[in-house]
């Protein structure tokens, strides 16, 4: 039960969200020597990492959207147009992102979340290990978190 001194508010508020994020970051940094050690280094912030495949006409044939942070590559989206699946474009996108993360950004590992009907087998074949399985997220679908460590 919440005291009468407080009131719960359910609304989207970007200013409060940003303040909450800042305060949580400060609390986490104070509590973790690992997060404190990231301060002032290139790994302190998230840096976008995007890789695109365009066809001869310049249309999007596939792409990977992710970011690097704290020596990790996080693959957020990887998609290949149905007409080009099985051609190696997905592997090429992932290879390029991993190469950039390792050689240009000093990353030591990568992670991705994917659903059972998407690509857990694709990532497993590319050296990723299943770290977690969440059944019914959303209902009727299983989500996988996979990780790949380099070196």
Q: What is the pLDDT of residues 82-94, one digit of tens each?
A: 999 999 999 999 9
Contact indicator for 64, 50 with CB cutoff of 8 Å = yes
Contact indicator for 73, 98 with CB cutoff of 8 Å = yes
Residue-range domain boundaries for the chain: 47-149
Q: What is the pLDDT of residues 122-133, one digit of tens each?
A: 999 999 999 999
Is residue 42's pLDDT more than 80? Answer: no
pLDDT at 38: 82
Report the half-sphere exposure of 38 (CA within 13 A, side-chain side): 16
Residue whose entry in the numeric block shows the structure tokens 């940094």: 29
Quickly count: other Cβ atoms within 10 Å of residue 37's Cβ. Answer: 13
Q: Which CATH class is domain 47-149?
A: alpha beta
């Amino acid at each position: 039960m919440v005291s009468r001194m407080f009131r719960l508010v359910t609304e989207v508020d970007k200013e409060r969200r940003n303040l909450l994020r800042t305060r949580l970051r400060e609390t986490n940094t104070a509590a973790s020597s690992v997060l404190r050690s990231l301060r002032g280094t290139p790994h302190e912030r998230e840096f976008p990492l995007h890789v695109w495949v365009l066809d001869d006409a310049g249309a999007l044939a596939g792409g990977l959207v992710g970011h690097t942070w704290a020596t990790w590559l996080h693959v957020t989206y990887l998609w290949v147009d149905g007409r080009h699946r099985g051609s190696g474009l997905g592997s090429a996108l992932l290879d390029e992102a991993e190469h950039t993360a390792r050689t240009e950004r000093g990353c030591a590992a990568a992670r991705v979340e994917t659903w059972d009907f998407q690509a857990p087998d694709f990532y497993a074949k590319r050296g990723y290990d299943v770290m977690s399985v969440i059944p019914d997220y959303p209902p009727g679908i299983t989500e996988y978190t996979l990780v790949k460590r380099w070196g």
